[in-house]
Every structure is written in structure tokens, then in C-alpha cells.
Amino acid sequence: MNEFVERQLTLQWHEPKKSYDVVIIGGGGHGLATAYYLAARHGIKNVAVLEAGYIGSGNSGRNTTIIRANYGIPEAIRFYQHSLDLYQTLEDELSCWVMYSTKGIIWLAHTETQMRAERARCLLNVACGAETVMVTPQEAKELCPQLDLSGGGRYPVMGASYHPAAATARHDRVVWAYAQGAMRHGVHVLQHRTVTGLLRDGVRVSGVETSAGPISAGVVLSAVGGNVSTIAAHADVRLPIRTHPLQAFVTNAHEQGFGPILSDTELLCYVSQSARGEMVIGAEYDPQPSYSLRSSFNFLQSCASKVTHLLPFLRDLRILRQWAGICDISADFSPIMGATGVDGFLVTTGWGTWGFKAIPAGGEQMAELIATGRTPELVERFGLDRFAADRAMADQGSAGTH
Amino acid sequence: MLWITCPRCGRRPVEEFGFGGELRGVPERITDPAERDVDYAWMYDNVHGITSERWFHRAGCRRWLTLSRDTVTDTVTG
């Protein structure tokens, strides 16, 4: 984090103590939000958040900032709708501008099969409290005038589902806002502290081993993105998670005027415009698991070719930068929150390509779980034990890209 | 990762191949048969380092091969 940003925020850094009630591994959105809600709502202030790099340097700073609730299974729709509601009031809650901007998301369908899938999504969303409607190609064109309805002659638009509440926010600002809020309540955020192991007291986890000495804790929560299998292995916990890179890129600045977020299941890509005017373009995650943050030309080529079919004006733009983040993809494409079967060790993981939109609700629910010792009703179906109980929450269709 | 050497077709671009999953076993320390089944069905090693895995040459000979890959650098090591 640079000095300019530090001046905009009041971040208080603390000297580390030897022991905390709660230690959270991972200073990204989920870790800091959990710390904030623990301190602000539950009065648990003896909390430390350990971050290997600087706060928000992992997936919280690498995602494409899309917030939406139009998921494909009832439990997920309710959860993400709650997160969206929390996002809408986040600036008041944290007294910090996060550049929240409601845009609406258009999900294009090019085939009759996809039309059926989008109709089903609309019905389920409305039944579970998230507003999503079907729109005709002409209505989609009115919402997004730059759209080529013939799809470059290859992908004609048959219709789309439209989720008007979808939004974007500035990802770094969300992280900083939660960090500032948590620090105001006395939470210690320790940067450049790599967790190298977990302290065990019999089977129980009683703290963490870090690059600068051990820290004991009543509860250890892993909120890391990308390396959760390594952390969990220290507690002999096995996870149904594979880590895949997800790549994205932005173009140079274009005049403001691309209103909505455009998404496409068949082409597996999505486009939005940032506040700076850059077009943010992303795709599905890479097929093979990897911890590499390297970007590839193959991705750029295939993704650019797909989006220019839908939005011909992108052909005149130049690619400014590309990057990758590593996503913990769970076996059923739903998050995993809560107990691990090892006393004193909790996880919030499986956030894959859909973690940013879940930061407020994920943090709030994990804080409630830690404070009360009971799993809140909203997330009780997202426990790790669902796999053994054969109650997997398959939702690849709405979670595969962003 | 850009290239994979197929034992039948030689050095070919990775786009021709489909990822078929890591070669893995259930850890010895899990002894309960039901728990072993759950582990086998759902859990991944998610190796941070060198892993052995199966790939399918779908746009070539359409047969399976085993290779080892470093997941940190995403390079084929053997």
C-alpha cells in the first residue's frame, strides 16, 4: 500500500502480541471483514489478522469486482442477496467510500438451451428474493447500445436475463475500508507475516507458527485465498479444493458510457467498465490446477476474439495490462464455511471465482459463527461436512466465471 | 504451460489436451472405510509443487498419458 493511500485512511498498525482470542490467516476481504464484524458486532476485539504480503495483495486485489446475486441454487441466492444488501449500505457502515456503483448484469443466451437455463434462473432468483427478469434482444440492446445482436454473425443473441441490482465496487477500497473499521475497534493487522504452520495441542489447533515466531490463539480461522490446502494440511484437514488460475485483462481508457456488466455463459467471458474508463474483461479459470500467477497469450487471444464478437468497438482499443489470480475451486462450486472437524480450526474457503461479492456476508456470518459457536442458518448448508453427508451444493452454471 | 510431449504424437500445444486430474491415493492415516470412501470421492491433494497427473490428447491420438508437472511454475517436469 502506498503513502498516498495511507493518507486517505486512518490505519493504525500495532505491535504483535503473543496471544489472541482469534487469529485470522489472510488479510484479504474475507479475513478483514470477519475481524471487523467480530469486533463491531460481537465485542471480540482481541483479534489478529495475519497477512503474508500486504493487505489485499491476494485475490482481493486481483478480482474483477462484480457483485451480483443471480445464482442457481436457493441457498446461494439467499446468501449472495444478503451480501448485496450489505454492500449497498457498506459505505455508511464503514464511513468509507468504496465506489459502489449499481450497473445491472445482462446474461446473454445464444441457443434455445441457454434460453431455458436463463428462464429457470429468473424464476428461481425471483422465488428466492433476487430480482432477475428475461429481456428480449432489443431490450438488451437498449440496456447496452454497444452490443452487436448478431454476435459478429456467429453468436446471435436470442435473449438475456437481466439482474438490475448487480454492481461493482473498488476492490482495494473494500479491503481498506474493512481494515480501517477493524483497526478502529482495536483489531491487530500484521502484514508480512507468513504462516508456516499450526500449533497443535493434542488434536486441537492452539495457534499459528509464523515467519516471526509463534502466536497462540483460542480460534484459528483460515481465510486465505489460493493456498488453503497447504494451511489445512498442517491440521491434517483434507479439502475438496483445487487451485486454478483465473486470468483477466483491461484495455486502455474508453469514454464512459458502457453502463451494464455483460456476461455470456456460452462464450465464458464477461465485460464491464471501470470508473477510470478501462474495459475489464475476464473469462473462465484455466483448466489445469496451478499456483502460477503467470498470464498467457493464449488466454488473451481467445478471450479477445470472443468479446469482440459481441462488442465490436473493443477492436479499436489496446490491451493495457493482464494478470492472474489463483482461485480455490471447490468440488461443487460452492463456498465452504465453518468447522473442519479439528477443534479450534475453522475455514472460510472455496471462494473460487466468486469471493469478492461475498465479502460482507461471508465476514458477517463467520464472525457470528466464531462468536456464538453455532453455525448461522444462512450458511449452515455450506459446511465442509456436506460432502460426507452427500449433500453437495452443485452450482457450476452460475459460478464458473465471476 | 504451453507444450506437452505426447509419447505417440510428440511435442504438441497444450490446447490439444484435456486435463484428467491428479494421480492420488487416500492417506494411510485415514483408516475408517467410510471416511476413506469420502476422501476418495471428494478430496484433492491440491499439490503445491510437483504432481503426477493424467492428460487426454483429445485433438490428437485420443489416448491418455501421465506426466509430472510443477504446479508452482506450471511447467512440465517429466
Q: How far apart are CA A380 and CA B1, in angstroms?
A: 39
Q: Which of A230, A236, A288 is the best mutation test for B, with the most CBs of B within 10 A?
A: A288
Of A298, A387, A388, the CB nearest to B15: A298
The reported pLDDT for the residue numbered A11 is: 87
Residue-wise over A315-350: b if at least 16 C-beta within 10 A, else e? eebeeeebebbbbbbbbbbbbbbbebebebbbbbbb
Q: What domains are defined for chain A?
A: 15-63+171-240+331-399 (3.50.50.60), 102-166+242-330 (3.30.9.10)
Q: A91 is written with which cell numbers? A: 459505505
Successive 10-residue mean pLDDT values, chain A, 402 residues: 63 92 97 98 97 94 94 95 97 92 96 94 96 97 96 95 96 95 96 96 95 95 94 95 94 93 92 94 90 90 93 95 94 95 96 94 97 95 95 82 69
C-alpha dist (Å) from residue A96 to A10, A101, A111:
11, 14, 43
* β A47-50/A188-190 pair status: parallel
Q: Which of A241, A94, A108, A110 is nearest to A177 (CA)?
A: A94
C-alpha cell belonging to residue A9: 485512511
Which CATH number does B3-76 carry? Answer: 3.30.2270.10
pLDDT of residue A392: 93
Prediction ipTM score:
0.93
Q: Which chain B residues contact residue A296 at CB under 8 A? A: 2
Cut 0.90: pTM above it: yes
pLDDT at B42: 95
| E-strand stretches of A104-179 | 105-109, 133-135, 159-163, 167-168
**A356 or B2, which is more confident?**
A356
Report CB contact under 8 Å: A292, B72: yes
Inter-chain residue contact A287 with B18, CB threshold 8 Å: yes
Check: CB of residue A109 under 8 Å from CB of residue A56.
no
Tell me whether A341 touches chain B (CB under 8 Å). Answer: no
The domain segmentation of chain B, as residue ranges, is 3-76
Distance CA A324, CA A63 (A): 9
